[in-house]
Amino acid sequence: MAVRLDGQVALVTGAGRGLGRAYAMDLAKHGAKVIVNDFGGSVSGEGSDDTPAQQVVNEIKAAGGDAVANAGDVGSYEDCFNMVKQAIDTYGRLDAIVANAGILRDVTIHNMSEQDWDLVIRVHLKQCYNLLRHAWPVFRQQAYGRVVMATSTSGLIGNFGQANYGAAKSAMYGLMNVAKLEGEKYNVMVNLISPGAATRMTNNLPGQTNTDQAERDIVMAPDHVAPAVTYMCSPQCLESGVAIEASGGRYGRIAFVRNEGVTYDPHGFKDADWVQANWSKITDISAAKAPWSFRETRDEHYAAKKA
């Protein structure tokens, strides 16, 4: 069945520009009514401006879709409540959330201020709690919901100078792991998108040159990421707990994996020398798997043959 969201309502945060705009436009193209949230600040989270969100609403309407603007701050518990309320008041329901809004305050750990840490964690990670907390009663009541949170390889893999951002982004993986279990019996699917795209956030990073900007605008267009988000927001997506990497002509999956490890009879004791001797087997992930839940790994552990 083709991917469609006819009659459904999606909330996309940070949708006034960049990747969020592409997600909102593509969701609307697939039939969703969209709450276009954006507080319109700078890359580092300063200032505010209502116009980016309204412009995207105008674009969606010009293309024949339906959308409303919201200028709330995703770091605010109350503003996120109002985003969910706006969806219900305007369209009578809320089916999908894309937690996409984000800022950067890149600085190495030894120079990072408490404010740089707190603000980045608030905008990225607390946003996800705020949105899930307010949408969850709606999702449970209607026994349906789709959530996509914007993570990053900066945290899932690592990137120099982004301790605050990387910590917030990889924490979303842990949040997903729990939310996917709590949403399971309510048909709520929770997934992550790890995008790569030419936006104002990435265009001024070290290593970019103006000469390759035109090429970057084509091959790294946010439009190449949006189809994965639309699919994960649709009723057709029945997967939960998956982090999809999408960037410049490649789709793939990033996962936290667990290996078989080395088991031993714990009636005996293995010391640090034993750990050193077995280190390569303990850390070998060549046959590792991404487990569904802690219970699964605990059961596997109890069932494992003692080495």
Ligand X SMILES: NC(=O)c1ccc[n+]([C@@H]2O[C@H](COP(=O)([O-])OP(=O)(O)OC[C@H]3O[C@@H](n4cnc5c(N)ncnc54)[C@H](O)[C@@H]3O)[C@@H](O)[C@H]2O)c1
User: Which residues does the annotation mark as catalytic?
Assistant: 165
Contact 168, 192 (CB under 8 A): no
Minimum gap (Å) between residue 283 Cβ and ligand X = 28
CB 57, min distance to ligand X, A? 14
- Comparing CA positions, the residue from 79, 98, 95 lying closest to residue 87 is 95
Q: Containing H/E element for 274?
A: helix 272-282
Instruction: Read off the tokens for 43.
Output: 């890359």
List 148, 150, 190, 246, residue binding ligand X (CB under 6 A): 150
Is 195 near ligand X (CB under 6 A)?
yes
Pick out residues in 69-98 that bind ligand X (CB under 6 A): 73-75
Task: State which residue, 144 or 245, has the beta carbon closest to ligand X.
Answer: 245
With contacts defined by CB under 6 A, how many residues of the chain interact with ligand X? 32
The reply to whether 155 sits near ligand X by the rule CB under 6 A is no
CB of 18 to ligand X, least distance (A): 2
Task: Decide if residue 19 touches ligand X (CB under 6 A).
Answer: yes
| Residues 65, 9: Cα–Cα separation, whole Å | 12
Instruction: Identify the three-state secondary structure at position 158.
Output: helix
- 9, 12, 18, 117: which one contacts ligand X (CB under 6 A)? 18
Query: Residue 149: phi, psi to the nearest 5?
Result: -110, 140
- In the sheet that holds 67-70, the strands lie side by side as 67-70, 33-37, 9-12, 96-99, 145-150, 188-196, 243-247, 250-254
Per the listing, tokens 């945060």 go with 13
The nearest distance, CB 111 to ligand X, in angstroms, is 20
CA 145 to chain CA centroid, nearest Å: 15
Contact window for ligand X (CB under 6 A) among 14-22, 179-187, 259-267, 289-297: 14-22
* Residue 133 phi, psi dihedral angles, 5° rounding: -60, -40
Binding site for ligand X (CB under 6 A): 13-14, 16-20, 37-41, 43, 45, 52, 73-75, 100-103, 123, 150, 152, 195-197, 199-202
